[in-house]
Amino acid sequence: MTTTADDAGRRRFSYLDDPAPGYGGLPPRSTFTSTAARLPLDGEWRFHLAPTVTEAPAGFHLTGFDDSGWDALAVPSSWPMHGYGRPAYTNVVYPFPVDPPYVPTENPTGSFRRAFEVPETWQDTDAVLRFEGVDSCARVWLNGTELGVTKGSRLPTEFRVREALRVGRNVLAVQVHQWSSGSYLEDQDMWWLPGIFRSVAVIRRPAAAITDFFVHADFDHTTGRGTLRVEVDAGVNGVAPVRLTVEELGIIDKPAGEVFELDEIEPWTAETPRLYDGELFTSDERVPIRIGFRTVAIVDGQITVNGRPILIRGVNRHEHHPDFGRAVPEDAMREDLLLMKRHNVNAIRTSHYPPHPAMLDLCDELGFWVIDECDLETHGFGVLDWKNNPSDDPLWTDAYLDRMRRTVERDKNHPSIFLWSLGNESHTGANLAAMADWARDRDPSRPIHYEGDAACEYVDVYSRMYASVPDVDLIGKQEEEKHENADDALDAKRRAMPFILCEYAHAMGNGPGGLSEYQELFERYPRCQGGFVWEWIDHGIRQHTADGREFFAYGGDFGEPLHDGNFVIDGLVFPDRQPSPGLLEFKKVIEPVVIRAGDNSLIVENHYDFVTTGHLAFRWALESAGEKVADGELVVPPVAPGQRAELPLPKLPRTDAESWLTVRAELAADQPWAAAGHEIAWGQLPVKPAAPAPAFAGRRPQLRSDHIVFGPGVFDAGRGVLRKLGNLVVDGPRLDLWRAPTDNDRGGEHSEELRWRGNGLHRLQHRTIDVKTGSTELVVRSRVAPAGLGFGAHVWYRWRAGENGLTLTVNVDPEGNWPDTVPRIGLRMRIPSTVDNIDFFGLGPGESYPDSVKAVRVGRYQSTVDDWQTPYVFPQENGNRSGVRWAQLTDADGVGLRVDGSPTINLSARRWTSEDLDRARHTTDLRPSEFVYLNIDAALHGLGTASCGPGVLPPYQLRPVSTSFTVSFSPLPVEEDDE
């Protein structure tokens, strides 16, 4: 079929190539349920996949077509997730030739058929066929009659089916094409997954039907009054009378469309998501509505809701499931939002398309600030210097406006949505400006966001991605650079706008680091109203090896000729929705209550936007050497938002060892998203410092034929390497500077990994210079350097022996022109694999690094070597424990060793070497060895967020400088010395 463009002589296109939106659909409307009869068509459909459009079955849309030889496929679904074709991942580059608006002949085409029965009660009534989402283009027939074509994958389309629908058996036929002109507008850093991935239904429309409505529910914070007006479009001809009832508000059977002025309204906020249940009704239909009263405005350069500025603690959320792709079950949506609430997340950007409508219902119910983003991204044109980009091409204007209309009309009744976003990474142009104008005219109650409008010509909010901490500091001061396309007036307009980071802190692999520095700026500058971490979930696809071991696939694992590797693995939760250490760090950094030490007092600060701390209970516990010695409740009067309370410390008993007071803020009562006792925030105060180490009693090394016995240790006489500690066979420790690079180490324009490898840090060689024994010490001197390069480090290992252990002082002195940074400065040693239980006193329980250490607290923790591993989908450095005072590693019989810092060390333990970890590409590549490898580090390089953003901040960069550190080793169990 072909369609003809306007009378100005626009060329002819096939429906696949036409840059205009689809045809045949009804005007867009809001999503709602009603008492009108509904025939859900989800379930098993007949399915056939062809490699091209021309090879699709001819006549399949006719009712008599024989589809008995076809497969069965569930709807909703993404067909590559069920073995038809393969998933493909790209971040930027289109996986087809960029020849807009044309798409390749090799265009996978799915033919779907579904037979369904219509009851006699539907005789002579109107009905619509509704698709919630089809990727990327679908042509639709009912009983052999063509209804039309839909594009805009993440947006609904409805077709009127009165003439085609019949009582009894009906056959719905849908031809879905992976590629269409719409694909040029859907380049959104995700798996390309065609299919009917959201629900399908036929909905009966009675004569007096409610076609659409728009709830306008404003709140006046100065009076506490609400204003309610429900704008209604009703009936086939728009003439049916519609009534409104909201019992709680005393509105009983009133004409819809009236303006109601209401006293003592409880407003909706993300912290207090108060919804009023109401109903619109006609003689034939009743529609439940949920009303949240709130007013969004920009006042004095800040986004306000109900008169108060808000601070965004947000995440970007793609729709993804490791088994179902884009067809995310509703229970998984709810679990996502519950996890967010439990980790102090208060905002979501729906990157980069409108989500399943049920997700927004949950956001209204649970309480989130939502940026609802249009289904638009043309990022792939960026690699072509934006040549032929649709954003400024009149040929595409209708498609742009169509997508914005369908977004706004579908979602306009959600109080959780506080900004409309035009889309993402589509450069700029007249079509985007037209979208902004249309949305602002249709819904002036919500400001407009679009990061790509860097000059802020047609948006209301200044937005950036991955701005550095220094840049955000300048923006907070209104001292950012002038945009090249902005005159003085436009520049002044931008500087007066509120600022948000629509993406920051790229959560790829181990990281992100440096979150607290951003949060400090958000809280310092009123203009900086927070941001959205990229992103919520790793988009791994669950797979299994031939022997049944599970792993998660990423770009390239399905043979894609073009792909962006594991760049799709960039979430705060793993593909199975387990929280990563990055999410735990984010929760702590953004906690809405801050508990800290004052001057011999305790300070509680309220960082909420609207609520007092009255919904929280405060509890304290005193621990000595990691063991609880006292606890109790702390009486904290309700603290208002932005205020603080200074309280006396609880009366604490005397302790003999290093002691810490931990104060926790918990939910005092059950909430819809967490039970009473759920921890919101915590603070930890030092009470008693660690006692100094006891005076050292020296022993004498004993030189034997080929080894040296020194206290409980046995050393190789030629190299001075420790071989036994008590009865435990060991190897090492010796200097180590390498780590398996993280995604953030690998990322960025100036990759740390490339520099480290260029400097040979992954292939250091050790040369023993001499081994000397003295009256009370063993000194091993060596030089460590990479082959082929002229720089290195002199290392002195100074061992001393006490009654039950060994103490090692290491001095590292770099020589030559050491460039750049180093991953770590520390020791590596090897112990038997049976030594796999860990008991330690330090910062825990989880992993931490210099710029990602807020989520851990001082305590005593028990774990295992296996549980110390963080299963990043792409294996990399992980598992470090910071601030370790001591650790005991033992086997099932208690045999092992104790490691003591002086005063603290970093410690990691794993069943594979750093080199094994470096070579691995999936978790299943890691095979446990017969050893456990320990890293005992004086210092580590930070994490940063350079996988897509700034690198490690200067305070956390590890430079090759002269370093001295001390660590002690003792065999376990302690044995009597027989010397």
Tokens encoding 226: 């609400």
Three-class SS state of 120 = helix
Three-class SS state of 166 = coil
Sorted by sequence, the CB contacts under 8 Å of residue 21 that are 6+ apart come out as 151, 152, 182, 398, 399, 402, 403
Query: Measured between alpha carbons, how far is 608 from 800 in angstroms, rounded to an integer?
Result: 54
Burial class from Cβ neighbours inside 10 Å (0-12, 13-18, 19+) for residue 902 reads middle
The 10 Å Cβ neighbour count of residue 458 is 18
The 10 Å Cβ neighbour count of residue 416 is 26
Query: Measured between alpha carbons, how far is 535 from 531 in angstroms, rounded to an integer?
Result: 11
Tokens encoding 501: 């980071």
Active site residue 803: no
Phi-psi map region of 388: left, alpha, beta (phi>0 left; psi -120 to 50 alpha): left
Place of tokens 């998933």: 87
Please check whether residue 217 is in contact with residue 248, taking contact to mean a CB–CB distance below 8 angstroms: no
Residue type, 418: F
Sorted by sequence, the CB contacts under 8 Å of residue 504 that are 6+ apart come out as 465, 466, 467, 518, 531, 532, 533, 534, 945, 949
- In total, the chain counts a number of residues equal to 979
Tokens encoding 518: 């951003």
Please check whether residue 165 is in contact with residue 118, taking contact to mean a CB–CB distance below 8 angstroms: yes
Query: Measured between alpha carbons, how far is 66 from 963 in angstroms, rounded to an integer?
Result: 78
Question: Comparing C-alpha atoms, which of 75, 525, 14, 103 is closest to residue 301?
Answer: 525
Q: Which helix (H) or strand (E) holds 489?
A: helix 488-495
Tokens encoding 473: 């500091």
Beta bridge partners of 546: none
φ/ψ of residue 588, rounded to 5: -70, -45
Query: Measured between alpha carbons, how far is 604 from 685 in angstroms, rounded to an integer?
Result: 13
Q: Which helix (H) or strand (E) holds 887?
A: strand 881-890
Query: Measured between alpha carbons, how far is 29 from 213 in angstroms, rounded to an integer?
Result: 8
Please check whether residue 934 is in contact with residue 911, taking contact to mean a CB–CB distance below 8 angstroms: no
Please check whether residue 229 is in contact with residue 216, taking contact to mean a CB–CB distance below 8 angstroms: yes
Q: In the 3-class helix/strand/coil scheme, how is 396-422 assigned residue by residue?
A: HHHHHHHHHHHHHHHHCCCCCEEEEEC
Beta bridge partners of 231: 214
Tokens encoding 545: 């090896």
Angle between helix axes 515-524 and 469-476 (nearest 10 degrees) is: 0
Burial 282-306 (b: 16+ CB within 10 A, else e): bebbebebbbbbbbbeeeebbbbbb
Active site residue 425: yes
**Catalytic residue chosen out of the listed positions 285, 319, 373, 503:** 503
Query: Measured between alpha carbons, how far is 700 from 707 in angstroms, rounded to an integer?
Result: 14
Please check whether residue 194 is in contact with residue 84, taking contact to mean a CB–CB distance below 8 angstroms: no
**Catalytic residue chosen out of the listed positions 409, 425, 480, 560:** 425
The 10 Å Cβ neighbour count of residue 340 is 26
Query: What is the tally of helices (H) and strands (E) in the chain?
Result: 11, 60
Question: Comparing C-alpha atoms, which of 824, 811, 812 is closest to residue 756?
Answer: 824
Rg (alpha carbons) of the chain, rounded to whole number: 32
φ/ψ of residue 659, rounded to 5: -135, 145
Mind telling me the catalytic residues?
425, 503
